[in-house]
Amino acid sequence: SQAPTLLQEAFQTRYLIQCTNEMNVNIPQLADTLFERTANSSWVVVFKALITTHHLMMYGNERFIQYLASRNTLFNLNNYLDKSAMQGYDMSTFIRRYSRYLNEKALSYRLVAVDFTKMKRGIDGVMRTMNAEKLLKTLPIIQNQLDALLDFDANPNELTNGVINAAFMLLFKDSIRLFAAYNEGIINLLERYFDMKKNQCKEGLDIYKKFLARMTKLSEFLKVAEQVGIDQGDIPDLTQVSVHIILINPIILFFAFLKIGVYPSNHSSQIYSLLCIYI
């Protein structure tokens, strides 16, 4: 039956996580073994190797993700296709997308030497205290990682087996933590906006607009999570963030346009009225 197999795999994953904390364990060799398994023709073997890698990135010693980030190439599965059965065709699509996300997660670490899903949060956290220059470089990296995650794009009807469900659950956990870092970075950006230089304001405005677009995609992803039975208590309420954005959006845009020398005269009186209400 499937239950003993799943239990056995859970023990194996836990053992590998423990291995990453042992100083005598060869991390490159461990990672390379997982890479070799992704060359298998069976979608089940490949998918499980990716899931195990993701587990170790999330819960293993930091040495593991450091090693992945130091490699020039990780997973090269853009053309992967298991033709042995109809399910193989379907799952191959998600293997390609999942591998791209793991590549992007490792690249993020390579660029900033931190895992966005593990960084200190809150008012004195990393993203809230970052200076404007670093913030403008870091937020696009978070955006790219979140894009790769949301590109997994599975609907509830496609989450049909334990393997893809395990991958989706790890992606869900990453999405919550990644969005928390992203959201705190955007709050910091808004707070620093009026002290920025003109060229920084243009960059900041572009980042802010992209954040709004990703809010929509993330809410769709979270709806899928809810439909497949993830506890509602674990799913953040994006409407609370949305209300804040609806209030701040016209204010930011008004000042943003003024700062970069564009005067939106048609709407300026209405926006100014809004400004008087909320400030």
The closest of 88, 101, 242 to 178, measured between CA atoms, is 101
In this structure, of 82-96, 191-205, 212-226, the range with the lowest mean pLDDT score is 191-205
Helix, strand, coil share of the chain (percent; to 5): 75, 0, 25
The boundaries of the domain holding residue 52 are 2-215
The closest of 89, 98, 143, 153 to 116, measured between CA atoms, is 143
Q: Read off the pLDDT band of 198 (50, 70, 90).
A: confident
Is residue 189 included in any domain, yes or no? yes
Is residue 244 included in any domain, yes or no? no
Is the model more confident about 30 or about 6?
30
> Hey, what amino acid is at 87?
Q
The closest of 103, 127, 131 to 117, measured between CA atoms, is 127
Q: Read off the pLDDT band of 231 (50, 70, 90).
A: confident
The per-residue pLDDT for 191 is 84
Question: Model confidence over 42-51: pLDDT tens digits?
Answer: 999 999 999 9
The closest of 135, 63, 49, 42 to 98, measured between CA atoms, is 49
Question: Which residues, in sequence order, are CB contacts of 220 under 8 Å at separation 6+?
Answer: none
Is residue 30 included in any domain, yes or no? yes
95 in Cβ contact with 39 (< 8 Å): no
Question: What would the two tokens of residue 34 be?
Answer: 């997982």
pLDDT at 234 over 80: no
153: left (phi over 0), alpha (psi -120 to 50) or beta: left
Residue 135, CA atoms < 13 Å, CB-side half-sphere: 29
Altogether, the residues listed in the chain come to a count of 279
Is residue 135 included in any domain, yes or no? yes
Q: What is the mean pLDDT of residues 202-208?
A: 89
Domain tally, the chain: 1
Is residue 273 included in any domain, yes or no? no
> Residue 106: which CATH number?
1.25.40.90
Is residue 11 included in any domain, yes or no? yes
Return the exposure string of 3-38: e unless at least 16 CB atoms fall within 10 Å of the residue's CB, then b.
Answer: eeeeeebeeebeebbebbeeeeeebeebbeebbebb
Burial class (CB in 10 A: 0-12, 13-18, 19+), 251: middle
Distance in angstroms (rounded) separating the CA atoms of residues 108 and 145: 7
pLDDT at 263 over 50: no
> Hey, what amino acid is at 119?
M
Is residue 190 included in any domain, yes or no? yes
Question: Model confidence over 175-184: pLDDT tens digits?
Answer: 999 999 999 9
Is residue 127 included in any domain, yes or no? yes
Query: Mean pLDDT in the chain?
Result: 85
